[in-house]
Chain A
């Protein structure tokens, strides 16, 4: 893992000291709220429905056990003993007090963490494939690139006041687990015909009010052009992105309005100058970063115990089937720890769970943890011989739910239980669905299914790319849930289609049940998953299940 340099540490200390001073000036009355608000937002501090909320960056979702333990300590000392992992691979604390925040930031800085770039119209905390450095299907590890982008974008003065926020995601695999097509810039590490490393660059993807799938701006960008090219994109966007209407200010609208070719031309025009400006120094740095992200010192052990447990223990086998993925070292596995036990709040972990996960990472995963955008925690490098012990340890802390990628592995944003911008709640909807399908004992039979829930049009819960998307709105003074079908956040990105009028809070679960029974009735065989069935059948039978045959015929 990358550890901070003296430069990084001095920068952070300085930032925290500044914010401490700003808080004390706010408390003394020297700063008004109008003056203070942008300053607190630059440090990740939001005011939400019931309290302040501190959003802490976890760049590309990577944590050490020391960092995880510190998050647990913060949860206990200054919050209510838990944290919420988000779809941006961040963690949020829901109950900090204003006067404690500088101390929290100090505690974070001690473990090389911070809350900057988690708000505002800047380049946000960079995200990456949570399988990075471990996935069997990886072309190259995205983390050195992500770290380079983090360093380049942190405190980038020219891009501190962009037209709107700017999100970059990086993947190193063909299988896109980082939703790169729905980011302002999505990078995929690829090799050219001669095996030289580079990037496929997508631009203009985004969720929210106007969802758009990113388009390929450059099919192959040589590795050495990365920062000059990104700098060029950002310059064009900074200059030409709209500032007159915040709903039209993201780069997706710039691309849409000026056309991809025009953007390409403007970026290419700037590139030679930027290339000269960077002069290749950043490439030396990237090579150094690669050294920080080498593979762990793999252990060699017999996997006999693993094979025995697999053969004899059905619950363990179910866990392995659903919660582990192929590692690039065939003796290893990537373990996803579900934060979605049935009825739990998606993404929440208690301080005890965080500490236990830190211990497990230290013992069994070469001290590494990851946060996925699907609001789970990963142990990326587990030797298979450890899996039986790890499974028991997880079960003891209530974290062995074997439901990854299944109907109860739901993404849900905080919604109106916490979020100031929400139009409806998300969490209770997720809880109801998970609990109900567990009671029906249908989860295994249904198979792979991604339900994603947002509490407003901002789409933090990624509902547009859910196989089933649920968007909470308000209608006639009550919560109303709009359902979309057929969304996909992978390399086959698709935006879900709305099926019709919304459902009230007590009708949304029955509606989901009707969708699922329709799927189970109509699938060709159990191998055809929900998304495949939607693609084959279209929406009509599902609309009929939701609204009756007449509306479905009209809407078809």
Chain B
């Protein structure tokens, strides 16, 4: 039934921005966004790996791209599984800095 490979869990592609080190995500239009809610959820291993390979070539914009496990959250937007990625998408817990402060709620 499913066209997804059974062993593949959905992923988003993330990296850091070269200029200010901020966390970025690849969106559906294949450009980079600061907002997790705009990230594209890959449900297919081939497409995810191809996007990662492309990102690795974009050294003038992005640093250290990697794929992370994610799922569609209750709000319909992709949500990473691992707490580290949730912190990256939010900002530090001791100060209201980073994404939680910079992005519209």
Contacts and interface: CB of A to CB of B under 8 A. Distances in A.
Interface stretch (B1-9, B35-43, B92-100): B92-100
Given A97-B19, A98-B18, A416-B84, A47 B63 contact: yes
B93 A51 contact: no
Contacts of A97: 19-21
B87 A431 contact: no
Contact of B21 (A29, A47, A477): A47
A52 B98 CA distance: 12
Given A477-B81, A477-B83, A51 B22 contact: yes
The bracket for how many chain A residues form the interface is 20 to 34
Contact of A431 (B81, B83, B88, B94): B94
Interface residues of B, number: 25
A32 interface: yes
Interface in B5-19: 16, 18-19
Main secondary structure of the interface of B (DSSP, over half): loop
B94 A479 contact: no
A478 B83 contact: yes
A348 to B, nearest CB: 8
A417 B93 contact: yes
Given A80-B97, A477-B81, A50 B21 contact: yes
B55 to A, nearest CB: 12
Interface in A423-462: 425, 427-428, 431
A99 interface: yes
Given A50-B88, A345-B94, A477-B81, A33 B21 contact: no
Nearest to B84: A416
10 contacts: A29-B60, A47-B63, A49-B23, A97-B19, A98-B19, A417-B87, A425-B87, A427-B92, A428-B94, A431-B94
Interface string A78-99: 0010000000000000110111
Contacts of B81: 477
A48 interface: yes
3 tightest Cβ-Cβ pairs between the two chains A and B: A417-B92, A51-B21, A52-B21
B22 to A, nearest CB: 6
A418 B63 CA distance: 17
A425 B93 contact: yes
Contacts of A417: 87, 92-94
Contacts of A428: 93-94
Interface of B: 16, 18-23, 59-60, 63-64, 81-84, 87-88, 91-95, 97-99
Contacts of B84: 49, 416, 422, 474
A417 B95 CA distance: 9
Given A98-B20, A98-B21, A50 B82 contact: no
Given A33-B63, A98-B21, A477-B83, A50 B93 contact: no
Contacts of A49: 23, 84, 87-88
Nearest to B102: A50
A97 B16 CA distance: 12
Contacts of B16: 47
Interface string A49-67: 1111000000000000000
A50 B84 CA distance: 11
A416 B64 CA distance: 18
B88 A32 contact: no
Nearest to A427: B94
Nearest to B92: A417
Interface string A333-347: 000000000000100
A95 B97 contact: yes
Interface in A344-392: 345
A250 to B, nearest CB: 26
B19 A50 contact: no
A50 B99 CA distance: 8
Nearest to B97: A80
Nearest to A505: B83
Nearest to B62: A33
A235 B39 CA distance: 51
